[in-house]
Structure 1
C-alpha cells in the first residue's frame, strides 16, 4: 500500500524543512556559536560582554544577536537602559550540548581536548555537567533513584530528594528528568527539572561555586564531604 501525501502535507513539510535549514544556518557561523556557548552558563549577558567573548566588534555582535533572536535561539530582556541576552530555554542548551558531542572527532582512543577545569564540572544551562555530574548520574542509576532510561525519578529517588530538601517544580511543563549526553565525557548526566533542582540545591548549600562569566563550577571542601556522604564519590 502506498501512502499519498496531500498538498497540505507537502506544504507543512516544506515549512518544517525551511525552518530547520534557517536554524542550521544560524548555527553555522563561529562567532554566533561562541555567543551561544557563552550563554550556556545559564545567565544573561549584555551585547558588549558577548562581543568580548566572541572577539568581534560590538556592531557585528548586534547583527549576530538579531540573527539568533529571529531563529528563536536566544531571548532578550530589557531592564532600564540595558538589554540582556540569554538562551531561549533548556531545550536550546540540550541542542547545543548534543551538537558539541557530535562535533568532536571520534577516535579509537578518545582523549578529550576540553580544559580540565571544565571537564570536571561545568554548567549545562541550569544543571550540572562534566565528570562530577556523570558520576552522580551513574550513582543514581545504580541505586535505583532513576528509572532505567533516566526519564523519571523512582519512588526511592523522590524520597532521597525530599530527605535532602530538594524542591521539585510540580507545575513546570519541562520533563521531570532526562538523561543529557555530556559532550566531554560521552556519558549521561542528569537534566530536566530534577537536574536543575539538584544544581540549585548544591549552590544553596555552597557545595559548589560558580566562576563569574564562565561555565566552570568549583567543588568546595564541604561539597567534597557531601558528595561522598550522598553519592559515595571520593574526591581528593
Structure 2
C-alpha cells in the first residue's frame, strides 16, 4: 500500500480538532454513542457535534448505525483504536502531560478500556503473570495462547470460554497480541482474547464501567480474583 503525505494530513486534520478529539477518546471505550451524548462530552451543541461526526464518518474513522429513532456512532475498526492509542503514547511522553494525567485521573491509570480490551496498571500486571506462566507465548507480531493457557483462561469467564473453544478464523494478530500501554509503557493483552477477558471480568462483576468514561472500577470480588487467580495484591 502506498501512503502519501496528503492522507496523513487528512487524518491529522480530523483528529487534531479539540471537539473531535474528545469524541474519539470517549469512543475508545469500545461502545457506541449518539450525537447528543458525544456533544456533552465535547462541550458543543448537538448540531455542531453532528457536523463533526459526519466528517469523522466520511474520513472512515467512525461508522454510524441507525437503531430505532437513534443513530449511534462507534470507531470504525480496531486499527483506528490502535492509531489513537499510538498518538496517546507519543503525547504522553511529554512530562507535563504525564504528570497532569496522573494527578487528574489516577483511576484511569489503574484500569480503563482501551477500545474493547483492558488497559492500565492491572492489565499490565495480569499480562505479566500470563506471560511468566507460559499461558501466552510472544511471536513477532502476535501472541499465541498455549494449551495450558487456554485451559486457564477458560476458567475466567464465559466470554473467554466461548472464544477459546472455537477455531481461530482471523489473522493471528487480530486474535491475540500485545498492545503497548500508553501510561505503563509495557504491553497489555489485546485482540479478541483481550476483548473477551474484559467482557469476562465485567460479567463477573470484577470490574465495573464508569458511566461516560473509559475508567473501570475494581470491585472487592475483583480484588479477590486478582489475588486467587493471578497472585496480585491490590
Q: TM-score when scaled to structure 1? A: 0.86
Select between 15-24 and 137-146 the one with higher mean Cα deviation.
15-24
Match of 2:148 among 156, 177, 181: 156
Correspondences of 1:65-84 after superposition (within 5 Å): 65-84=53-72
Q: Distance in 2 between matches of 1:72 and 1:203?
A: 29
Asked if 1:131 is matched to 2:121, the reply is: yes
Aligned to 2:7: 19
- The question of whether the paired residues in 2 share the 8 Å contact of 1:112 and 1:184 is answered with no
Give the aligned partner of residue 37 of structure 1: 25
- In our comparison, the structure showing a higher alpha carbon Rg is 1
* Contact preservation (8 Å) 1:77, 1:84: yes
- 2:137 corresponds to which residue? 147
Q: Residue 193 and residue 56 in structure 1: after superposition, are their counterparts in 2 closer, same or farther (change >3 A)?
A: same
Q: Which of the residues 50, 54, 57 maps onto 1:62?
A: 50
Number of residue pairs matched by the alignment: 222
> 1:227, 1:75 → 2: CA distance?
36
Query: 1:17: how far off?
Result: 4.2
- 1:206 CA drift (Å): 1.2
Q: Aligned-pair distance for 1:231?
A: 1.0
State the Cα distance separating 1:172 from its structure 2 match.
4.2
Report SS of the residue matched to 1:49: helix
Deviation at 1:18, TM superposition (A): 3.1
Scaled by the length of structure 2, the TM-score of the pair is 0.87
Q: What's the Cα RMSD here?
A: 2.1
Please, which runs of 5 or more residues in structure 1 have no aligned partner?
1-11
